[in-house]
Amino acid sequence: MSNAGNAAMNEEKDNGLAEMIKALRAKLGLTQEQFAAEVGVTWSTVNRWENGRGKPSPLAMRRISELLDNNPLDE
């Protein structure tokens, strides 16, 4: 696959992550600041994730996964 193809695939994956984080936060009824406190990051970090300008660290992803386990998005 070309570099352009890989970049497009990564961007699509990142957008999916951003949408998942937004959806989880909405399901929990939390502001970005409240969600950030739950995950242990700053609100600006959550904002970057939701706008596709950053990705959660492994530690943050672990906490997000725990939140998802307790609050599945498909219900």
pLDDT tens for residues 25-49? 999 999 999 999 999 999 999 999 9
Query: Taken in order 15, 17, 23, 29, is the CA torsion positive or negative?
Result: negative
Q: Does residue 75 sit in helix, strand or coil?
A: coil
- Give Cα 34 distance to the centre of its chain: 14
> For 4-8, 50-54, 56-60, which range has the lowest pLDDT when averaged over its residues?
4-8
> Domain limits of the chain?
3-70
* pTM given for the model: 0.80
Question: Which DSSP symbol is given to 5?
Answer: H
Considering the domain 3-70 in this protein, what is its CATH number?
1.10.260.40
